[in-house]
């Protein structure tokens, strides 16, 4: 119950802090996770410039590293990491963060199939027999295709990319979790909410 109250409090206060600033009591940051080191207790973000959950703008470089909360009760579910910043099926483009160059890269893809308005319980996305979401990205080495699902955009897309990009690690095509962090000392999180995996209204 205490943890649920904390999640609700953060959900209410975080947008206010982002708008008005909370420097006296601490600050709030948010972004997409591109790396998570459980042993070191560190999470690396690409910060969200827009602070808009429906139209995020992951464009702030360099990436920023936070120490996760020392008190594990102040931390939500461990974050999933990935390098995909944006999927644009209209332009057949994927925008990724490239660790090798410490910069963003736009990869043009060739669509094989694109479905829009795909809910999270669609049979191609959710395995009802196993009662869990299917794993994406789904990579077919024989056909050299990549299938990804964007829950926010409700898009299920299968495509091909140039050979030099196809050999990139699978998490290249993964969208990392969105997290919100409350801190007072730069780089040290006092609280961390995994926005992507937290339903604050779940009983």
Residue listed under structure tokens 């990205």? 137
pLDDT in tens, 114-166: 999 999 999 999 988 888 899 999 999 999 999 999 998 999 999 999 999 99
The CATH number linked to 40 is 2.40.50.320
Residues 26, 105 within the same domain: no
* Rounded (to 5) percent helix, strand, coil in the chain: 15, 40, 40
Residue 99 covered by a domain: yes
Other CB atoms closer than 10 Å to residue 117's CB: what's the count?
A: 9
> Structure pTM?
0.81
Residues 192, 148 within the same domain: no
Residue 126 covered by a domain: yes
Domain of residue 187, residue span = 2-80+177-197
Other CB atoms closer than 10 Å to residue 191's CB: what's the count?
A: 22
Which whole-number Å values give the CA distances from 70 to 80, 117, 192, in the listed order?
19, 40, 11
pLDDT in tens, 52-72: 667 788 889 999 999 999 888
Domain count within the chain: 2
Q: Residue 196 — very low, low, confident or very high, per pLDDT cuts 50/70/90? A: confident
Rounded to whole angstroms, how far apart are CA atoms 48 and 40? 24
Contact in structure between 112 and 160 (CB atoms under 8 Å): yes
Residue 202 covered by a domain: no
């Amino acid at each position: 119950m205490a943890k649920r109250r904390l999640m609700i409090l953060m959900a209410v206060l975080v947008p206010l802090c982002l708008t008005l600033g909370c420097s006296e009591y601490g600050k709030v940051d948010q972004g997409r996770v591109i790396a998570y080191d459980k042993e070191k207790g560190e999470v690396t973000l690409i910060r969200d410039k827009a602070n808009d959950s429906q139209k995020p703008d992951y464009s702030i470089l360099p990436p920023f590293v936070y120490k996760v909360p020392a008190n594990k009760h102040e931390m939500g579910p461990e974050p999933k990491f990935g390098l995909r910043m944006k999927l644009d099926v209209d332009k057949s483009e994927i925008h990724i963060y490239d660790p090798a160059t410490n910069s963003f890269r736009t990869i043009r893809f060739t669509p094989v199939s694109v479905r829009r308005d795909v809910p999270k319980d669609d049979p191609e996305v959710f395995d009802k027999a196993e009662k869990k979401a299917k794993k994406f990205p789904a990579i077919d080495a024989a056909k050299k295709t990549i299938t990804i699902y964007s829950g926010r955009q409700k898009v299920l897309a299968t495509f091909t990319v140039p050979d030099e990009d196809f050999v990139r690690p699978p998490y290249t095509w993964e969208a990392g979790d969105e997290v919100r962090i409350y801190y007072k000392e730069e780089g040290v999180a006092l609280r961390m909410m995994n926005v992507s995996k937290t339903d604050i209204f779940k009983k």
